[in-house]
A and B are shown apart, each in its own frame.
Chain A
């Protein structure tokens, strides 16, 4: 089984002096799904922003065998698809189709190819009815699906999902979960929700003050850290 993420000794300090990441070692195999747990401010989101080089700390990051550096940044960003928590921030183009085509166009596809790919991916996530809609007319669940389509259109090997089911009602959440489960990519899921983690991942990593203080089977980690709402 090949490693798609291999990280050793990652450290990051914010400009204001906060040590957000303090020596992180992490790995992910292809097709595997891992949950990131930890209190608010424990460094999960900062960590995730390193996976595609949006933040650059010390330490080594290898994505699909490529070392993260200025020269590999573009390739790595197409390998790691990040679905952000706030869909409104992710869907910035005037129509759904243009938004999903944004990534492929940046990859250098011709406009026709980019639109074809966007249509295919939108059908894949069940949003074929909304090509010309404006993003702000969509429901929360539809926005999330389009955001995922925008990332899938880049043909990534790793999906990073930041709290993918917040603000969704139970049926929408169920549908989204089955969509996510059907995607073959390796997944990194940032969440507070133990149920979501159990449904989507097999392994979990626990963050505390910029370090990983526990990792293992997702059910075992949830029990060890009492990481459930009730």
Chain B
């Protein structure tokens, strides 16, 4: 599955993997802001951004094609709008829509492909994102695949009892049962938490030190992005 690939990538050991998640998240934001404010039609700038991303992916030892094919998930949406824009006569803008959304998606993938979920959620937390939201993100991600597999098994079970069973009510019943099992699972998790001494508060892990190599990485990214934005 898709997520497994990203998880595997994020456990790599390249120098980019070892950078502080805060530095990588900040670099991502810088890149996205610079990209967002680039005027449509600055084709050389878009080429330079792409080269920058390819170099970074290379540094992270991530497969370029794999990254591109996953980032292409944004294309159905942006291609639709790009076509509409083209149709209304603004071909430069149409191209820019597709380019910007694709490059943005690739950049986000570079972050999660080099940083495990615990890393970037810790970075968010150190930036004062509410702890409750961080916990919910971690729990959603943890149980996403458990419950998705459950859906798959339930669909197979329904199919085995008759391939023509695809009514509205059947789907609703499926969602209902899924809900019930999820609820019971949440109860089970809570019991397991209490059994290990949970007292209503998660104890946060201490933040790792922000090293000079992280600062160097961030300033290189900043300089690269700004140079492209100013010069091209």
Contacts and interface: CB of A to CB of B under 8 A. Distances in A.
Contacts of B145: 136
Interface residues of A, number: 34
Given A89-B189, A136-B142, A98 B195 contact: no
Main secondary structure on chain B at its contact with chain A?
A: helix
A92 B192 contact: yes
Interface residues of B, number: 29
Contact of A106 (B142, B189, B203): B203
Interface string A107-134: 1000100100000000000000000101
Given A134-B7, A137-B7, A90 B197 contact: no
Given A103-B197, A132-B11, A94 B118 contact: yes
Contact of A74 (B138, B141, B197, B203): B197
B26 interface: no
Nearest to B117: A94
Contacts of A90: 189, 192
A80 B196 CA distance: 9
B197 A98 contact: no
Contacts of B205: 98, 111
B195 A77 contact: yes
B166 interface: no
Contacts of A114: 203
Interface in A30-82: 49, 52, 54, 74, 77-78, 80-82
A92 B198 contact: no
Contacts, number: 84
Contacts of A135: 142
A193 interface: no
B196 A151 contact: yes
A84 B196 CA distance: 12
B188 A84 contact: yes
Contact of B189 (A92, A98, A154): A92
A217 interface: no
Contacts of B188: 84, 86, 89
A150 interface: yes
A102 interface: yes
Interface of B: 4, 7, 11, 116-118, 121, 138-139, 141-143, 145-146, 185, 188-189, 191-199, 203, 205-206
8 contacts: A77-B196, A78-B197, A89-B192, A90-B192, A94-B118, A102-B193, A106-B197, A137-B7
Given A84-B188, A132-B11, A136-B142, A54 B194 contact: yes
Contact of A150 (B121, B185, B196, B206): B196
Contacts of B194: 52, 54, 77
Nearest to B198: A106
A77 to B, nearest CB: 5
B196 A154 contact: yes
A74 B185 contact: no
A157 B172 CA distance: 47
A148 B206 CA distance: 25
A220 interface: no
B206 A111 contact: yes
A93 B199 CA distance: 16
Nearest to B191: A54
A116 to B, nearest CB: 14
A175 interface: no
A132 B10 CA distance: 11
A95 interface: yes
B191 A84 contact: yes
A105 interface: yes
A49 B189 CA distance: 13
Nearest to A74: B197
Nearest to A100: B196
A84 B185 CA distance: 12
B145 to A, nearest CB: 5
Contacts of A82: 192, 195
Contacts of A102: 193, 196, 198
